[in-house]
């Protein structure tokens, strides 16, 4: 195995909700949403809230009666807290790479060097350390380019068997084709939007609540 350079996209899971859970562990395992300024609409959902079909951007006042009846817990957004936790995660990631692009409040691209197995192991270590030191769950997608790292990150979140780390170098070309063909049409834009900006230092817009 040759030593190659890979890109890892490290992305927090349900970032705003995960931040709220760090300071209120009682929210763990419960359906939680975070609301925009003045509690206007839903800007982040826990996996449990997504499972209850709480929509992104839903106006809270309109859905609150039914949502609270289903057990959904709403939190007002606290951007100072989210910024602080983001900065801590960025600092930890900087220890693992000489090249880091902070892509959004909960996403960084970092360059990793090593064999595919070594890079996957580093991805696992990053995930464990960030959870241990900050309490933040993250997923790691590893690939040769930003576009594919984004795709790998989606894979790491959608397949529990991967335990939060997906390195595309582990797949054969036939398997990669099958993976690409399985990406739902609705998800393609999120992947392609990165492709447009590949190589540029664009400060983007991904849904930090995801």
Q: Smallest gap, in angstroms, from Cβ of residue 1 to Mg ion?
A: 30
State the residues that interact with Mg ion by CB under 5 A.
11-12, 15, 106, 210
**Sequence-separated (6 or more) residues with CB below 8 Å from residue 111:** 5, 6, 7, 8, 97, 98, 99, 100
How far is Cα 183 from Cα 155, in angstroms, rounded to an integer?
A: 9
For residue 88, the tally of other CB atoms under 10 A from its CB is: 14
- The nearer residue to Mg ion, 5 or 203, going by C-beta atoms, is 203
Looking at residue 116, what DSSP letter applies? H
Q: Smallest gap, in angstroms, from Cβ of residue 62 to Mg ion?
A: 26
- The nearer residue to Mg ion, 15 or 60, going by C-beta atoms, is 15
- The nearer residue to Mg ion, 112 or 140, going by C-beta atoms, is 140
Q: Smallest gap, in angstroms, from Cβ of residue 91 to Mg ion?
A: 18
Question: Strand pairing partners for 52?
Answer: none
Question: At 11, which helix (H) or strand (E)?
Answer: strand 4-12
Distance of CA 34 to the CA centre of its chain: 16
Q: Smallest gap, in angstroms, from Cβ of residue 11 to Mg ion?
A: 4
Active-site positions read 107
- The nearer residue to Mg ion, 15 or 109, going by C-beta atoms, is 15
């Amino acid at each position: 195995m040759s030593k190659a350079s890979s890109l890892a996209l490290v992305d927090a899971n349900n970032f705003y909700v995960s931040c709220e859970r760090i300071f209120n562990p009682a929210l763990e395992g419960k359906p939680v949403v975070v609301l925009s300024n003045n509690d206007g609409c839903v800007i982040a959902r826990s996996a449990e809230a997504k499972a209850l079909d709480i929509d992104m951007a839903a106006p809270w006042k309109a859905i609150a009666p039914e949502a609270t009846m289903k057990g959904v817990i709403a939190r007002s957004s606290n951007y100072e807290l989210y910024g602080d936790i983001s900065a801590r995660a960025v600092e930890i990631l900087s220890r693992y790479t000489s090249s880091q692009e902070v892509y959004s409040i909960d996403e960084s691209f970092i360059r990793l060097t090593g064999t595919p197995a070594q890079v996957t192991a580093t991805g696992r270590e990053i995930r464990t350390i960030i959870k241990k030191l900050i309490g933040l769950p993250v997923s790691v997608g590893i690939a040769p380019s930003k576009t594919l790292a984004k795709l790998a990150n989606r894979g790491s979140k959608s397949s529990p068997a991967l335990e939060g780390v997906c390195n595309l170098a582990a797949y054969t070309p036939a398997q990669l084709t099958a993976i690409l063909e399985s990406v739902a049409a609705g998800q393609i834009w999120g992947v392609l939007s990165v492709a447009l900006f590949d190589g540029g230092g664009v400060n983007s817009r991904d849904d930090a609540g995801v």
